[in-house]
Amino acid sequence: MKLPSAIKTYCPYCNAHKEHTVRLARKGKERSMSRGRRKYEAVKAGYGGSPRTPKKEVYKVGKRTIAVLTCKTCGKKHQKVYGARTKRKVEIE
């Protein structure tokens, strides 16, 4: 599935159809000093192993692809799922 780099779609901030730029959302970098990370490191320290059960390998056929839409009028960003659970990769032309 191919997405154009600019589309006209609904902007919830402008409450109207406006021109948007499209880019794919990427996972952000995990903060090493976040509350959950600090707690996990504290539990893992010392004797005893990991407090979490090891993850099973899950083979997902289709993945959700989230597009970040940036409104050209107000500059606000919102997200939209394109090609939900599709086998094909979503690309931007």
The footprint of Zn ion (CB under 5 A) covers: 11, 13-14, 71, 73-74
In angstroms, give the least distance from the CB of 55 to Zn ion. 39
- Radius of gyration of the chain from its Cα atoms, rounded to whole angstroms: 19
Q: Which is nearer to Zn ion, 9 or 34 (CB)?
A: 9
Q: Which is nearer to Zn ion, 10 or 40 (CB)?
A: 10
Q: Which is nearer to Zn ion, 69 or 90 (CB)?
A: 69
Question: What DSSP designation does 33 have?
Answer: T
In angstroms, give the least distance from the CB of 73 to Zn ion. 5
Residue with the two structure tokens 């970098």: 29
CA distance linking residue 9 with residue 21, whole number of Å: 10
Instruction: Name the residue type at position 41.
Output: E
